[in-house]
Chains A and B, each alone.
Chain A
Amino acid sequence: EPEVTQTPSHQVTQMGQEVILRCVPISNHLYFYWYRQILGQKVEFLVSFYNNEISEKSEIFDDQFSVERPDGSNFTLKIRSTKLEDSAMYFCASSRDRGSSNYEQYFGPGTRLTVT
């Protein structure tokens, strides 16, 4: 069964450093997402990406964040200058469509980012 993969599973970085979180969505999917979950809290939408551009972003997704689909398979989230409050689990997700009777979003296993 196809699945979304994410690397690394855990990333530790120092405040102010840049990090890149990587995701490989399911191959025939067209819509890509990043979500964030601070420890013990709910899952929050960060950004959606379709047709090589951002289709929606939340208030959390400020100028320090960027996303890219550098080739046909990878989907990356870059945090330019990490802050302590960026420590969280970051989930990548993908879907084939965005609203139909068969709509489903598949999540990767997550990357736990720890900023020290």
Chain B
Amino acid sequence: AQKVTQAQTEISVVEKEDVTLDCVYETRDTTYYLFWYKQPPSGELVFLIRRNSFDEQNEISGRYSWNFQKSTSSFNFTITASQVVDSAVYFCALSEPSSNTGKLIFGQGTTLQVKP
């Protein structure tokens, strides 16, 4: 069965520190999609990235980078030089085409607090 685990419930860092948010997933599909969403205190879900299972290239977008390791079923998210505005809950999610619906399975979320 599909499952997403974000073992880190809360992380607290000081501004300018680097921080990595872990995500481990379980799926029986060979093709799947992984996502990261940010949920700031205002409550909306902000899409950050989608990664296709057949594309293992890591991605960097500004201060954000993602490390996809198929061998360990992990899709970790690193924020470099964190800022107070990065404070939010971050969710990792999985979608399996075999489900025929495209639904997203979310992890429990990691609350990141960046202190000035």
| Residues in A lying within 8 Å of B, measured CB to CB | 31, 33, 35, 41-45, 48, 50, 55-56, 89, 91, 93, 95, 97-99, 101, 103-107, 109-110, 112
**Interface residue from A44, A55, A109 paired with B101 (Cβ < 8 Å):** A55
Q: Are A98 and B101 in contact (CB under 8 A)?
A: yes
Q: Are B43 and A98 in contact (CB under 8 A)?
A: no
Q: Which A residues are CB-close (under 8 A) to B97? A: 98-99
Q: Are A101 and B103 in contact (CB under 8 A)?
A: no
Query: A107-B44, A110-B43 are known contacts. Are A56 and B99 too (CB-CB below 8 A)?
Result: yes
Q: Are A31 and B106 in contact (CB under 8 A)?
A: no
Query: A43-B91, A89-B43, A104-B50 are known contacts. Are A97 and B102 too (CB-CB below 8 A)?
Result: yes
Q: CA–CA, A107 to B42, complex, Å? A: 14
Q: Which A residues are CB-close (under 8 A) to B45? A: 43, 91, 107, 110
Q: Which A residues are CB-close (under 8 A) to B43? A: 89, 109-110, 112
Q: Which B residues are CB-close (under 8 A) to A107? A: 37, 44-45, 47
With both beta carbons as reference points, the residue of chain B lying nearest to A33 in the complex is identified as B103
Is B105's beta carbon under 8 Å from chain A?
A: yes
Is B64's beta carbon under 8 Å from chain A?
A: no
Q: What does DSSP make chain A's interface, helix, strand, loop or mixed?
A: strand
Q: Are B44 and A42 in contact (CB under 8 A)?
A: no
Chain B nearest CB from A21 CB (Å) reads 15
For the complex, count residues of B whose C-beta is within 8 A of A.
25
Chain A nearest CB from B12 CB (Å) reads 17
Q: Are B102 and A99 in contact (CB under 8 A)?
A: yes
**Interface residue from A44, A55, A91, A103 paired with B50 (Cβ < 8 Å):** A103
Query: A31-B101, A48-B103, A99-B102 are known contacts. Are A104 and B44 too (CB-CB below 8 A)?
Result: no
Chain A nearest CB from B77 CB (Å) reads 16
Q: Which of A93, A99, A104 has the most CB of B within 10 A?
A: A99
Q: Which B residues are CB-close (under 8 A) to A91? A: 45
Q: Are A48 and B108 in contact (CB under 8 A)?
A: no
Is B60's beta carbon under 8 Å from chain A?
A: no
Is B95's beta carbon under 8 Å from chain A?
A: yes
Q: Are A42 and B101 in contact (CB under 8 A)?
A: no
Query: CB-CB contacts of B18-54 with A at 8 A, as 1s and 0s?
Result: 0000000000000101010100000111010010100
